[in-house]
């Protein structure tokens, strides 16, 4: 008796999966009928429906290989995306990109991110397959914008073919490059303490982009053992915003969402960008010709709110360090603040900037599309002035970057709290799972002895549950 042969598995490509979704949306065919047409099983059609949003995002991104039938995610996703960003920039500049060049750049990016990774030929082949690199022409969706034909001459940027009214409030973004003396205390500041923070938000107040912080140190010691995915903000090891890389990433993110947006940029930034990457989902619009070249393309009230929240949180953290170490001045406590601390403080300050203030700022400075609803009359609350400072003193502290920096020698950044227990290699030993669980017990005991509010315990329970889950992995 002849045994019945098993049904051969037929995997569908990305293009075929999109056809399946179109048939289900546009016709009254059932999943079983569609399965018979494509000669696959009905559960496979059901899985395609469940992954509809992800499939559409891959299709709209313009970088996915549409003939590939299976998508295996990379173990080093951060390096994968960073190398793809660099590749787009290199191709936009008409560089002759070779395999050894990609391997060298991947290793360089891994070192910057602090990851122990050595790229191989096999990894490079899989990377090219995942990102549709080197396999013929790319499938790029044509943008909905009409092609721009600027007139010749240096004033071509001053007359953009589109205006803000062509976009919804959620699709109009503004950004600002903010200098920040990240560990300064009232009455002091120096050039070694300066970083730059890139803020970006939309005029509807519904979306704030992840912060980008750039600094002088290529690999701060405080980043030792820290996963790049766990950083609260992106970090660039150069005291300058990498506009080309940032814009390419912004464009890819909007492509995954199937959006066409506009980004307001200061005239100075547009002048510095001599060669832009090929943007397909982000349209750059300069500020009005009457604006000064240094005017940021984000409302000044939003920038000031971010700096106010940062300064307020910074003083609170330094005061807590003073209470722990008796006899330590505020300046000495500030000297122990690291770049990693600054990333966390900046992310917390950016999260506290309320959407209502962003909407109001865009409207008041004329950066919002006309269809944006009127801003609320009530002013958004800012943190109270810290104790020990007058309103004028705190205002001057917030605007400290506007003053001339004091001269002084740059010292290597150290973590004053972690100097004890430093290993022979100069780095503090990484905390273990037992250390994390022990710290949770200590924190809970401290909360029990100091009678916190029930709401604080609820936040602690959520943190405790997540830490315990990570310890079980």
pLDDT of residue 274: 57
**3-state percent breakdown (helix, strand, coil) of the chain, nearest 5:** 45, 10, 45
The CATH number of whichever domain residue 34 belongs to comes to 1.10.10
- Residues 384, 456 within the same domain: no
189 and 266 in a single domain? The answer is yes
Residue 303: the pLDDT is 92
Q: What is residue 202's predicted lDDT score, i.e. its pLDDT? A: 94
Residue 108 covered by a domain: yes
What are the angstrom distances between the C-alpha of 376 and each of 178, 363, 368?
26, 11, 15
- Do residues 243 and 193 both lie within one domain? yes
Spell out the per-residue pLDDT of the chain, length 473, in tens: 444 445 555 677 777 777 777 777 777 778 888 788 788 888 888 888 877 777 776 666 555 555 555 555 556 778 888 888 788 777 777 777 787 788 888 888 888 777 888 888 888 888 887 777 764 333 333 333 444 443 333 333 333 345 677 788 899 999 999 999 888 888 665 545 788 999 999 998 999 999 999 886 666 677 777 677 778 888 888 778 888 889 989 999 998 888 899 999 887 777 777 556 578 888 888 876 545 555 678 999 999 999 999 988 888 888 877 777 777 777 787 777 888 888 989 999 999 999 999 999 998 888 887 655 555 544 455 677 777 777 788 788 888 776 554 444 444 455 444 444 454 444 567 778 888 888 888 888 888 788 777 888 888 888 888 888 887 77
Q: Are residues 372 and 461 in the same domain?
A: no
Instruction: For residues 254 and 322, state if they share a domain.
Output: yes
Check whether residue 365 and residue 245 sit in a common domain.
Answer: yes
Domain-embedded: residue 153: no
- Decide if 121 is inside a domain: yes
pLDDT of residue 9: 58
User: What pLDDT does 276 receive?
Assistant: 62
Domain end among 102, 130, 158: 130
The reply to whether 100 falls in a domain is: yes
DSSP string, 65-97: -TT-S--PPPS-HHHHHHHHHHHHHHHHTT---
3-state secondary structure of 282: strand
Domain boundary among the residues 354, 385, 402 is at: 402
Contact 65, 134 (CB under 8 A): no
CA geometry: angle 395, 398, 401, nearest 5 deg: 125
CA dihedral of residues 210, 372, 281, 256 (deg, nearest 10): 60
Residue 101 shares a structural domain with residue 172: no
Q: Considering only CA atoms, which of 247, 224, 245, 176 is closest in space to residue 339? A: 224
Answer yes or no: pTM beyond 0.85: no
Neighbouring C-beta atoms of residue 445, cutoff 10 Å: 10
Residue 392, in any domain of the structure? yes
In a domain, 440, yes or no: yes
Which pLDDT value is given to residue 199?
A: 95
Nearest to 262, CA basis, from 161, 155, 153, 365: 161
- Residue 73 has a pLDDT of 56
CATH number, position 106:
1.10.10.60
C-alpha span between 340 and 271 (Å, rounded): 32
Same domain, 177 and 283: yes
Bridge partners of residue 24, in order along the sequence: none
Residues 308 and 218 in one domain: yes
How far apart (Å, rounded) are the C-alpha atoms in residues 283 and 260? 8
In angstroms, what CA-CA distances link 230 with 81, 236, 337, 415? Answer: 16, 15, 19, 19
Q: Helix, strand or coil for residue 200?
A: strand
| pLDDT (0 to 100) of residue 349 | 92
Same domain, 379 and 445: no
What does 304-315 look like in DSSP terms, one character per residue? HHHHHHHHHHHH
| Number of domains the chain contains | 4
Last residue of a domain, one of 85, 107, 130: 130
Please check whether residue 54 lies inside any domain of the structure.
Answer: yes
Is 341 found in the same domain as 207?
yes
The residue segments making up the domain with residue 38 are: 14-61
**Per-residue pLDDT at 218:** 63
- 57 with 93, same domain: the answer is no
- The DSSP secondary-structure symbol of 240 reads S
465 to 448, 449, 458: CA distances (angstroms): 18, 21, 11
On whether residue 70 sits in a domain, the answer given is no
Q: Give the neighbor-by-neighbor strand order of the sheet with 194-202.
A: 234-236, 212-214, 194-202, 172-181, 261-265, 282-286
Spell out the residues 6+ positions from residue 465 whose beta carbon is closer than 8 angstroms to its own: none
């Amino acid at each position: 008796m002849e045994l019945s042969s098993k049904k051969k598995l037929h995997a569908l490509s990305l293009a075929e999966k999109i056809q399946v979704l179109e048939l289900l949306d546009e016709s009254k065919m059932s999943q079983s009928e569609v399965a018979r047409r494509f000669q696959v099983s009905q559960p496979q059609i059901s899985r395609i429906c469940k992954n509809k949003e992800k499939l559409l995002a891959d299709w709209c991104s313009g970088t996915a290989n549409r003939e590939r039938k299976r998508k295996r995610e990379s173990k080093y996703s951060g390096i994968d995306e960073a190398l793809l960003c660099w590749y787009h920039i290199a191709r936009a500049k008409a560089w002759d990109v070779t395999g050894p060049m990609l391997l060298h750049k991947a290793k360089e990016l891994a070192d910057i991110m602090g990851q122990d990774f050595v790229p191989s030929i096999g990894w490079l082949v899989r990377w090219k397959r995942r990102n549709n690199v080197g396999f013929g022409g790319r499938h790029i969706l044509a943008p909905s914008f009409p092609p721009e034909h600027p007139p010749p001459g240096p004033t071509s940027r001053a007359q953009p073919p589109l205006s803000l009214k062509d976009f919804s409030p959620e699709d109009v973004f503004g950004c600002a490059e903010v200098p920040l003396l990240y560990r300064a205390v009232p009455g002091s500041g120096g050039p070694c303490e300066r970083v730059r923070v890139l803020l970006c938000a939309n005029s509807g107040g519904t979306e704030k982009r992840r912060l980008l912080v750039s600094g002088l140190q290529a690999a701060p010691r405080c980043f030792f053992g820290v996963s790049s995915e766990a950083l609260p903000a992106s970090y660039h090891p150069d005291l300058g915003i990498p506009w080309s890389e940032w814009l390419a990433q912004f464009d890819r993110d909007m492509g995954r969402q199937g959006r066409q947006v506009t980004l307001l940029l200061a005239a100075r930034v547009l002048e510095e960008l001599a060669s832009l990457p090929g943007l397909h989902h982000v349209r750059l619009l300069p500020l009005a010709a009457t604006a000064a070249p240094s005017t940021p393309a984000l409302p000044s009230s939003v920038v000031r709110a971010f700096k106010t929240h940062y300064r307020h949180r910074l003083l609170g953290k330094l005061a807590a360090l003073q209470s722990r170490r008796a006899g330590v001045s505020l300046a000495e406590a500030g000297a122990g603040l690291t770049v990693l601390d600054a990333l966390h403080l900046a992310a917390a300050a950016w999260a506290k900037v309320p959407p209502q203030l962003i909407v109001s700022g865009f409207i008041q400075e004329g950066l919002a599309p006309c269809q944006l609803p009127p801003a609320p009359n009530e002013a958004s609350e800012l943190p109270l002035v810290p104790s020990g400072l007058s309103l004028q003193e705190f205002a001057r502290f917030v605007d400290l970057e506007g003053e001339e920096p004091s001269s002084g020698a740059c010292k290597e950044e150290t973590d004053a709290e972690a100097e004890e227990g430093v290993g022979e290699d100069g780095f503090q030993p990484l905390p273990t799972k037992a250390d994390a669980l022990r710290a949770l017990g200590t924190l809970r005991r401290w909360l029990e002895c100091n009678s916190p509010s029930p709401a604080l315990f609820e936040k602690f329970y959520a943190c405790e549950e997540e830490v315990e889950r990570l310890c079980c992995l």
